[in-house]
């Protein structure tokens, strides 16, 4: 089939004032079948389908067909005790499709996709055969678009049948009102489908759905018993043309009254007909532009009413998604995301830039449930997971086929290990990045040396200075911003090489900043290279419809984006990174990656909507390949150090914010992007915990946030979001228990409290950095575990207490670090106590780090119960509620290190 057409995109970059209440998405323009579920039937001529039957899928799994109540299938392991991994709803279609025009709104990295006018919506599914296939069944495998290899675990299972409709769906204009009666007869369209299941490994079954081109008939559905055509495609007869339909409408007979009659016998009033024809003409013109093939595929299957869903990538407002419709589209997370009044203001000034509960830099088409069911989609098509109905899941994919995997596991940790085993895990981080605080600074050489001196006076363990303004600053309408031309500004950082060398001699690395965008440099007098012009000349920038560089608005200036589907762009940018590393830089923030336009033209020629979700992976891959190449080429520079020591101590580090399903295969480290400097739930300190934990349940094991947040809005007296001391201190306490402890001054440093603002904030920063240092030994172990299993450093308690209903409902209240530390952060202004929950299912007791008090079934501070208990615990500033597992060597060593660092 042809690639999907580019979406109809509406650009909304330049409006001064916008609707502060934008249309909610995803808002389906058509509801498939309304409230009535499409029926499932099976070929009555098939004796095998008339009886329940088990079919093998590889050697470890089986699919069971049950014809009762209309028919259903279920997938499980071969053992009788194996729980069901996936099942359909009896009598309800589990495969369907549609054809619709994609509409999109786009504004500065914020996107909204929805269905436009829809047609070809089947209202039934028929199963005609379920068959185990082997290597000798080449024709049937080819019809299902299946490519066998030497590793294929036969048998694979193929379900075939037909989706069809006697008339178009309820939202399709081609079937409503008089137009349906004008058409001659009742047309039927139908299409064959192939649903394939293949064992991929001991814990995964791959599935694939392919739907052939539709065909019309004039009174009988396609014969479900007919064999599939060669090559898997179906001939599609020519549709009735506009001219023929108008001709039929004009074949009228004169009657004595004012009514006219079509040749088919339907009475139509003359004035009604004259009013109808122009509308028909307009609709047919629109239909001529509509997609000719199916470009939506739906999978519908069963869910239990009390089943809870986790995952979907790095989410910031929710941990659990039952009852929600979850879109999977990479984009800006938004400013406010529903917190008011900032969301209203952001949407008013820039369309959709406020975001909503579902907008995120790093989504993933993956979930796991409280019933230990898990599934993910392969590919990069835009998808929506509809969990709004209590008894089912419906996945809508903006494409003409679907591939994915169903996972088997008895616990959340097994499911994450299985998932990341196929999607990828990060490498072991060099020990230097996790040995102390990463200090985020701006302001030039003198400012860095001044703060460095203060940190040494306070004996702060520091691993690196992260200097995002190394490229120089430009003054714009919204303040100071960076020059996106990736070379050092020798005026802003005079003596750059000396600064980098001096820091390194003091045991401190230097980190910088870059992103995949470039800007014209005509306004910068001291630029040595003009990277935008170089890339333009080489033809390695993303193109617009005219073939020129696609210039995208970004805050106060326009930028062009490198096209990493072009190998030349990858090689060229590695040269930029090489220049950074040769100057002594040890790491960088690899920002952005979420803004590829949905109507871009790419070197690869691929669908830009799917490429939009893939771009963050391409961006991370370029950075990772360079980091690996640099380490390999530099491996001879470390004297007689062992390979293990080199692995732990040396190497470059970069961190990203945008991502998709397989980003952890390429990214070394994530950070959560641009939270508001606020206490609010959707885009403040609370959201940073939700993002940390939801990402951890979605295959992002190494993640952190800006200590103190980033987005500052200071417009007195109406809109003031400024970082106060208390927020900064509490965020530092929180981030002292993440994999990397990094500060950020924010987008308006002068409006925010900083760790160096006064003696109080500096002393608190030193204390938190020492707390972070105290569990370095355990952090190193957890980083290796993340690389080996995909388990996150910071862990939602659902990983170990999945049946605890209290744990299932937790969002940001508390989390585990590995298995041995329990952290209950203060996330509300003015609070000096927290409510800590201690599950009882494993019989563990927990010791408070600062007081030594124990909490557990036989401990103090709460009443033991089968489902655990809650206790109110003190949490003064500087003394966050942290607990160690009683009897844990890790906990004992952590407390001992705190004493040695004079923190306890």
Tell me how far apart the 2 most distant CA atoms of the chain are, in Å. Answer: 107
Helix, strand or coil, per DSSP, at residue 181: helix
> 210: closest CA among 137, 151, 144?
144
Asked if residues 561 and 595 have their Cβ atoms less than 8 Å apart, the reply is: yes
Characterize the bridge pairing of strands 517-518 and 509-514: unpaired
CA pair distance 420, 788, nearest whole angstrom: 9
Which tokens sit at 835? 């409510």
**Burial level of 259, CB count in 10 A (0-12/13-18/19+)?**
middle
Q: CA geometry: angle at 599 spanning 598 and 603, to 5°?
A: 100
Task: Calculate the dihedral angle through the C-alpha atoms of 299, 302, 308, 309, rounding to the nearest 10 degrees.
Answer: -20
* Sign of the dihedral through C-alpha 847, 848, 853, 856: negative
User: How far is it, in rounded angstroms, from Cα 144 to Cα 193?
Assistant: 8
Taking the CA atoms of 749, 755, 758 and 760 in sequence, report the sign of the dihedral they define: positive
Angle 889-900/776-789 helices, nearest 10 degrees? 140
Q: What CA dihedral angle connects 92, 98, 103 and 107, to 10 degrees?
A: 50
How many Cα atoms within 13 Å fall on the side-chain side of residue 854?
12
Structure tokens at 203: 């814990």
The torsion angles phi and psi of 191, rounded to 5 degrees, stand at -150, 140
CB 173 within 8 A of CB 189: no
Sequence-separated (6 or more) residues with CB below 8 Å from residue 644:
none
Neighbours of 787 (CB within 10 A): 18
Burial tier of 856 (Cβ tally within 10 Å: 0-12, 13-18, 19+): buried
Considering just the CA atoms, what is the radius of gyration of the chain in Å?
30
Rounded to a whole number of angstroms, the distance between the first and last alpha carbons of the chain is 66
- CA separation, residue 534 to residues 525, 529, 578 (Å): 17, 8, 17
Q: At what angle do helices 759-774 and 776-789 cross, to 10 degrees?
A: 60
List, in sequence order, every beta strand (DSSP E) within 532-661.
552-554, 557-561, 587-590, 653-656
Give the up-direction half-sphere exposure of residue 461: CA atoms within 13 A in the CB hemisphere.
Answer: 19
| Separation between Cα atoms, residue 449 and residue 638, nearest integer Å | 28
Strand (E) or helix (H) holding 580: helix 567-582
- Is 804 an annotated catalytic residue? no
Catalytically annotated residue among 591, 648, 662, 672? 591
Q: 699: alpha, beta or left, given left = phi > 0 and alpha = psi -120 to 50?
A: left
How many whole angstroms separate alpha carbon 97 and alpha carbon 723? Answer: 49
Using DSSP, state whether 754 is helix, strand or coil. Answer: coil
Q: Could you say which of 386, 489, 674, 745 is catalytic?
A: 674
Nearest-5° Cα angle at 23, 22 to 26: 130
Known catalytic residue at 54: no
Annotation marks residue 594 as catalytic: yes
Distances in Å between the Cα of 430 and the Cα atoms of 608, 630, 786 are: 36, 14, 13
The one catalytic residue among 123, 287, 594, 617? 594
- Extract the runs of DSSP E, i.e. beta strands, from 708-857: 713-715, 719-721, 794-795, 815-817, 821-824, 833-838, 846-848, 854-855
Q: Tell me how far the alpha carbon of residue 262 is from its chain's centroid.
A: 54
CA 90 to chain centre: 32
Strands 587-590 and 653-656: parallel
Q: Which residues are catalytic?
A: 591, 594, 674
């Amino acid at each position: 089939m042809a690639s999907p057409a580019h979406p109809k995109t509406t650009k909304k970059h330049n409006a001064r004032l916008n609707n502060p209440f934008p249309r909610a998405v995803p808002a389906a323009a058509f509801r498939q079948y309304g409230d009535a579920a499409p029926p499932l039937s099976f070929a009555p001529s098939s004796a095998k389908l008339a009886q329940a039957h088990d079919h093998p899928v590889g050697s470890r799994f089986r699919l069971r067909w049950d014809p009762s109540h209309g028919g259903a299938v279920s997938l499980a392991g071969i053992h009788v005790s194996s729980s069901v991994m996936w099942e359909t709803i009896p009598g309800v279609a589990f495969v369907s499709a549609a054809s619709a025009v994609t509409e999109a709104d786009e504004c500065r990295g914020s996107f909204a996709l929805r269905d436009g006018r829809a047609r070809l919506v089947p209202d039934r599914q028929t199963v005609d055969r379920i068959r185990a296939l082997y290597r000798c069944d080449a024709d049937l495998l080819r019809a299902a678009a299946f490519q066998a290899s030497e590793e294929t675990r036969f048998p694979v299972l193929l379900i075939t049948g037909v989706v069809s409709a006697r008339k178009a769906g309820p939202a399709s204009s081609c079937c409503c009102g008089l137009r349906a009666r004008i058409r001659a007869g009742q047309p039927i369209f139908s299409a064959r489908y192939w649903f394939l299941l293949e064992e991929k490994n001991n814990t995964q079954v791959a599935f694939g759905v392919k739907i052939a081109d539709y065909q019309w008939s004039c009174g009988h559905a396609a014969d479900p018993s007919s064999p599939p055509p060669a090559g898997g495609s179906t001939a599609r007869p020519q549709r009735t043309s506009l001219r023929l339909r108008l001709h039929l409408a004009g074949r009228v007979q004169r009657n004595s009254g004012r009514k006219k009659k079509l040749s088919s016998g339907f009475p139509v009033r003359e004035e009604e007909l004259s009013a109808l024809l122009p509308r028909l003409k307009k609709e047919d013109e629109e239909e001529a532009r509509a997609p000719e093939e199916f470009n939506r595929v739906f999978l519908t299957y069963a869910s239990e009413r009390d089943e809870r869903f986790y995952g979907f990538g790095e989410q910031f407002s929710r941990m659990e998604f039952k009852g929600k419709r979850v879109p999977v589209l990479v984009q800006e997370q938004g400013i406010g995301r529903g917190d008011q009044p900032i969301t209203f203001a952001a949407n008013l000034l820039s369309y959709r830039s406020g975001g909503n509960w579902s907008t995120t830099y790093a989504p993933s088409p993956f979930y796991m449930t409280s019933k230990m069911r898990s599934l993910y989609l392969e590919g990069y098509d835009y998808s929506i997971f509809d969990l709004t109905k209590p008894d089912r899941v419906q996945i809508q994919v903006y494409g003409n086929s679907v591939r994915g995997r169903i996972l088997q596991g008895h616990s959340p940790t097994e499911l994450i290990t299985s998932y990341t085993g196929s999607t990828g895990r990060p490498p072991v981080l060099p020990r230097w990045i996790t040995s102390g605080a990463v200090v985020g600074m701006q302001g030039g050489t003198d400012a860095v040396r001044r703060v460095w001196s203060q940190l040494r006076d306070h004996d702060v363990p520091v691993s690196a200075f992260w200097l995002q303004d190394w490229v120089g600053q430009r003054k714009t309408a919204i303040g100071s911003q960076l020059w996106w031309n990736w070379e050092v500004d020798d005026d802003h950082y005079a003596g750059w090489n000396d600064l980098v060398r001096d820091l390194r001699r003091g045991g401190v690395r230097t980190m910088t900043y870059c992103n995949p965008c470039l800007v014209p440099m005509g306004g910068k007098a001291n630029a040595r290279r003009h990277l935008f012009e170089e890339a333009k000349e080489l033809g390695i920038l993303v193109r617009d419809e005219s073939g020129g560089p696609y210039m995208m608005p970004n805050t106060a200036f326009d930028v062009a984006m490198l096209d990493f589907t072009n190998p030349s762009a990858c090689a060229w940018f590695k040269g930029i990174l090489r220049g950074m590393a040769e100057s002594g830089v040890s790491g960088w923030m690899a920002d952005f990656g979420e803004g590829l336009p949905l109507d871009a033209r790419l070197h690869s020629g691929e669908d830009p909507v799917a490429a939009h979700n893939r771009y963050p992976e391409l961006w991370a891959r370029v950075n990772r390949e360079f980091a690996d190449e640099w380490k390999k080429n530099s491996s001879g520079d470390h004297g007689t150090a062992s390979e293990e020591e080199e692995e732990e101590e040396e190497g470059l580090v970069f961190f990203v914010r945008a991502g998709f399903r397989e980003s952890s295969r390429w990214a070394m480290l994530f950070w959560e992007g641009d939270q508001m400097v606020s206490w609010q739930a959707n885009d403040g300190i609370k959201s940073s915990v939700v993002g940390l934990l939801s990402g951890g349940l979605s295959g992002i094991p190494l993640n952190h946030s800006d200590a103190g947040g980033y987005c500052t809005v200071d417009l007195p007296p109406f809109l003031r979001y400024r970082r106060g001391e208390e927020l900064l201190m509490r965020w530092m306490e929180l981030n002292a228990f993440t994999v990397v402890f990094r500060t950020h001054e924010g987008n308006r440093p002068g409006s925010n409290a900083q760790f160096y603002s006064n003696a109080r904030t500096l002393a608190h920063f030193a204390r938190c950095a020492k707390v972070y240092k105290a569990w370095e030994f355990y952090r190193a172990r957890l980083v290796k575990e993340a690389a080996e299993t995909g388990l996150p450093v910071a862990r939602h308690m659902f990983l170990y207490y999945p049946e605890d209903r209290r744990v299932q409902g937790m969002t940001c209240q508390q989390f585990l670090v590995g298995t041995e530390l329990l952290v209950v952060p203060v996330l509300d202004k003015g609070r000096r106590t927290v409510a800590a929950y201690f599950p009882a299912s494993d019989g563990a007791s927990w010791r408070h780090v600062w007081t030594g008090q124990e909490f557990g079934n036989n401990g103090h501070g709460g009443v033991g119960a089968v489902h655990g208990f809650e206790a109110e615990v003190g949490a003064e500033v500087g003394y966050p509620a942290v607990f160690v597992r009683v009897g844990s060597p890790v906990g004992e060593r952590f407390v001992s290190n705190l004493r040695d660092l004079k923190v306890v």
